[in-house]
Chains A and B, each alone.
Chain A
Amino acid sequence: MTISHEQAEWFRTTFDQLTDNMEKAVLGKRHVVRLALTCLLSEGHVLLEDFPGTGKTMLARALANTVQGSHARVQFTPDLLPSDVTGVTVYDQHKGTFEFHPGPIFHTIVLADEINRASPKTQSALLEVMEEGRVTVDGVAHSVGKPFLVIATQNPIEQAGTYRLPEAQLDRFLMKTSVGYPDRQATVELLNNAAVRDRAALVQPVITAATIAQMSGLADQVYVDPAVIGYVAELAEESRRQPHVKLGLSPRGCLALVRVAKTWAAADGRDHVVPDDVKDLAEPVLSHRLLLDAEAQFSGVDVQTVISRLLDAVAPPTDRVGV
Chain B
Amino acid sequence: MSSHTSTTGTRTRVRPHALLPDRHSWIDIGFTLVLAAVALSALGSSFTGVTYLVVGMLGVVIALVVTHLTRAAGWPIISAVVICVVLFFLLGGPLCLRSLGDGSLLPGPTTLARVADQAVFGWKDLLTTLPPVDGQGPLLVLPWLAGMLAGLVGLGLAHLSVRRAWLAAVLPVVGMTLALSGAILLGVRHPQSLLLQGSVFAGLALAWLAIRARRASAAVQGGTTSYVRGVGALAMLALAAGIAFPASAVLAGNDEERAVARNWVEPPFDIGRYPSPLAGFRKYVNPKGRPDRANANVYDKTLLEVQGDLPENTRVRFATMDRYDGMVWGASDNALPGPADDSFQRVSSTIDNPVADPADGDGDPTEVTITLGEGWSGVWLPTIGALQSMTFETADARAKAEVFRYNLATSTAVVPTGLQPGDRYSFDQVQPDDVLTPETVGSADVTSLPPSASFIQGPTEKWTEGAGTDPMDRVLAAAEHLRSQGKYSDGVGRTEKIYVGGHSVWRLSDEFVNAPQIVGNDEQYAATMALIANDIGVPARVVLGAVVPESGVVTGSDVSAWVELRAADGTWRTLPTEAFMSLTPPADQVPETNTPMSGTVIPPPNPIPPPSDAGEQSDADLKERKASKKKKAADDQGLIAGLPSWVGVVVTYVGGPLLLIALLLGAVLALKAWRRHRRRSADSVSARFVGAWRELVDHARDLGQPVPLGPTVTRREQSVGIVSGQAGSLARRADSFVFGPSAPAEAAAATYWESVDAERRAMSQEVGTWHRVRAAVSLRSLRPGRSSRRDDDPERGLDEGAPTAEPVASRASRLRALADWRSRRTPD
How many Å lie between the Cα of A272 and that of B808 in the bound state?
A: 29
* Cβ-defined contact, A300 with B739, below 8 A: no
Residues of A within 8 A of B789 (CB): 312
* Cβ-defined contact, B787 with A312, below 8 A: yes
Mask, B705-749, CB within 8 Å of A = 1, is 000000110111100000000000000000110111101000000
- Judge whether B807 is part of the interface by a CB distance below 8 angstroms: yes
Mask, A197-229, CB within 8 Å of B = 1, is 000000000000000000000000001010110
Residues of A within 8 A of B790 (CB): 312
- Judge whether B186 is part of the interface by a CB distance below 8 angstroms: no
Mask, A310-323, CB within 8 Å of B = 1, is 01111111111001
* Cβ-defined contact, A300 with B802, below 8 A: yes
- Judge whether B811 is part of the interface by a CB distance below 8 angstroms: yes
* Cβ-defined contact, A300 with B712, below 8 A: no
Mask, B680-721, CB within 8 Å of A = 1, is 000011110010000000000000000000011011110000
* Cβ-defined contact, B810 with A308, below 8 A: yes
* Cβ-defined contact, B712 with A272, below 8 A: no
Given contacts A272-B736, A319-B738, contact A299 B811 (CB under 8 A): no
* Cβ-defined contact, A223 with B716, below 8 A: no
Residues of B within 8 A of A283 (CB): 811
- Judge whether A307 is part of the interface by a CB distance below 8 angstroms: yes
Residues of B within 8 A of A318 (CB): 690, 714-715, 738
Interface size on B, residues (CB 8 A): 35
* Cβ-defined contact, B787 with A308, below 8 A: no
Q: Closest residue of chain A to B802, judged by CB?
A: A300
- Judge whether A280 is part of the interface by a CB distance below 8 angstroms: yes
How many Å lie between the Cα of A275 and that of B711 in the bound state?
A: 13
How many Å lie between the Cα of A227 and that of B741 in the bound state?
A: 12
* Cβ-defined contact, A304 with B741, below 8 A: no
* Cβ-defined contact, B801 with A276, below 8 A: no
How many Å lie between the Cα of A282 and that of B741 in the bound state?
A: 23
Shortest CB distance B826–A (Å): 12
Mask, A249-291, CB within 8 Å of B = 1, is 0000000000000000000001111111001100100000000
* Cβ-defined contact, B808 with A304, below 8 A: yes
Residues of A within 8 A of B711 (CB): 315
- Judge whether A196 is part of the interface by a CB distance below 8 angstroms: no
A-B contact count (CB 8 A): 86
Interface size on A, residues (CB 8 A): 37
How many Å lie between the Cα of A298 and that of B803 in the bound state?
A: 10
How many Å lie between the Cα of A317 and that of B690 in the bound state?
A: 11
How many Å lie between the Cα of A322 and that of B5 in the bound state?
A: 51
Q: Closest residue of chain A to B685, judged by CB?
A: A323
* Cβ-defined contact, B741 with A316, below 8 A: no
Shortest CB distance A19–B (Å): 11
* Cβ-defined contact, A300 with B801, below 8 A: yes
- Judge whether A302 is part of the interface by a CB distance below 8 angstroms: yes
Contact pick for B818, options A271, A280, A301, A307, CB 8 Å: A280
How many Å lie between the Cα of A87 and that of B739 in the bound state?
A: 47
- Judge whether A70 is part of the interface by a CB distance below 8 angstroms: no
* Cβ-defined contact, A316 with B736, below 8 A: no
Contact pick for A2, options B716, B741, B802, CB 8 Å: B741
Give the most central of A2, A273, A308: most B CB within 10 Å: A308
Shortest CB distance A303–B (Å): 8
Given contacts A272-B740, A300-B802, A301-B800, contact A319 B686 (CB under 8 A): yes
How many Å lie between the Cα of A271 and that of B802 in the bound state?
A: 43
Residues of B within 8 A of A314 (CB): 712
Contact pick for B740, options A223, A279, A300, A316, CB 8 Å: A223
Residues of A within 8 A of B801 (CB): 298-301
| Residues of chain B from 794 to 828 with CB closer than 8 A to chain A in the complex | 800-804, 806-808, 810-811, 814-815, 818-819
- Judge whether A184 is part of the interface by a CB distance below 8 angstroms: no
| Residues of chain A from 38 to 75 with CB closer than 8 A to chain B in the complex | none
How many Å lie between the Cα of A43 and that of B804 in the bound state?
A: 35
Contact pick for A274, options B685, B712, B716, CB 8 Å: B716
Residues of A within 8 A of B806 (CB): 305, 308
Shortest CB distance A3–B (Å): 9
* Cβ-defined contact, A223 with B687, below 8 A: no
How many Å lie between the Cα of A255 and that of B815 in the bound state?
A: 24
Shortest CB distance A29–B (Å): 11
Residues of A within 8 A of B735 (CB): 274, 276
Q: Closest residue of chain B to A301, judged by CB?
A: B800
Shortest CB distance B705–A (Å): 20
Given contacts A300-B803, A312-B787, contact A323 B686 (CB under 8 A): yes
* Cβ-defined contact, A319 with B740, below 8 A: no
How many Å lie between the Cα of A273 and that of B684 in the bound state?
A: 21
| A300-B803, A300-B804 given; 8 more Cβ-contact pairs under 8 Å | A31-B818, A223-B740, A272-B741, A304-B808, A304-B811, A315-B712, A323-B684, A323-B685
Where the two chains meet, the residues of B that have a C-beta atom closer than 8 Å to any C-beta of A are: 684-687, 690, 711-712, 714-717, 735-736, 738-741, 743, 787, 789-790, 800-804, 806-808, 810-811, 814-815, 818-819
Question: Could you give 6 example pairs across A and B, Cβ below 8 Å?
Answer: A31-B819, A225-B739, A272-B740, A274-B739, A276-B714, A307-B807
By Cβ-Cβ distance, the 5 closest A-B pairs, closest first, are A304-B807, A300-B803, A223-B741, A315-B711, A323-B684
